[in-house]
């Protein structure tokens, strides 16, 4: 029986910015797929107090969120007929919950607490950086106007 040795690995962490170029937090890959080491199976997104991240939707993958620290308002826009329907959910670290967001739902994250907020996302399927047009960015104005990209 082969045993693995204890080791550490670098984890990719990047600062994130809102649509105006203002820093709004950071993102860190937590787990890569075992087969290729390319796809991200889970990551942590951190938002600074008062910061907003979004809106974007994924054409291929769903999101599964769990709050680890702080308090985040998750705003989603799902397509119903010829318009986007808005919904809001609060995820808070002290209240264990999981949130599932299917593909093709525009999502925005807002830190509504006083400390940095952390969400873990377990995307399904795993994030694949080779899928170039999989993530689509929106403004709230576009969503309210019914724009589809």
Asked whether residue 2 carries a pLDDT value surpassing 80, the answer given is no
Residue owning tokens 């860190």: 28
Q: What is the pLDDT of residue 65?
A: 97
| pTM, entire model | 0.89
Q: What is the mean pLDDT of the chain?
A: 94
Q: What is the pLDDT of residue 1?
A: 59
Q: What is the pLDDT of residue 85?
A: 97
**Confidence band for 7, pLDDT divided at 50, 70 and 90:** confident
For residue 79, what are the CA distances in angstroms to 31, 89, 109, 123, 138? 31, 17, 18, 20, 13
What is the rounded end-to-end Cα distance, in angstroms, of the chain?
A: 52
pLDDT for 64-93, tens place per residue?
999 999 999 999 999 999 999 999 999 999
**Confidence band for 51, pLDDT divided at 50, 70 and 90:** very high
Structural domains in the chain, sorted by start: 13-144 (2.60.120.10)
């Amino acid at each position: 029986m082969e045993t693995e040795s204890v080791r550490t690995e670098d984890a990719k962490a990047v600062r994130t910015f809102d649509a105006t170029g203002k820093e709004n937090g950071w993102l860190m890959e937590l787990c890569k797929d075992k087969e290729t080491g390319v796809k991200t199976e889970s990551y942590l997104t951190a938002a600074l107090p008062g910061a907003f991240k979004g809106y974007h939707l994924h054409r291929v993958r769903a999101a599964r969120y769990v709050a680890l620290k702080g308090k985040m308002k998750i705003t989603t826009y799902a397509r119903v007929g010829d318009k986007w329907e808005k919904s809001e959910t609060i995820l808070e670290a002290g209240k264990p919950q999981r949130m599932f967001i299917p593909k093709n739902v525009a999502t925005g994250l807002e830190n509504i607490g006083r400390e940095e907020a952390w969400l873990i996302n377990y995307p399904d399927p795993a994030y694949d950086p080779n899928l170039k047009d999989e993530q689509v960015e929106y403004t709230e104005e576009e969503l309210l106007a019914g724009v589809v990209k």
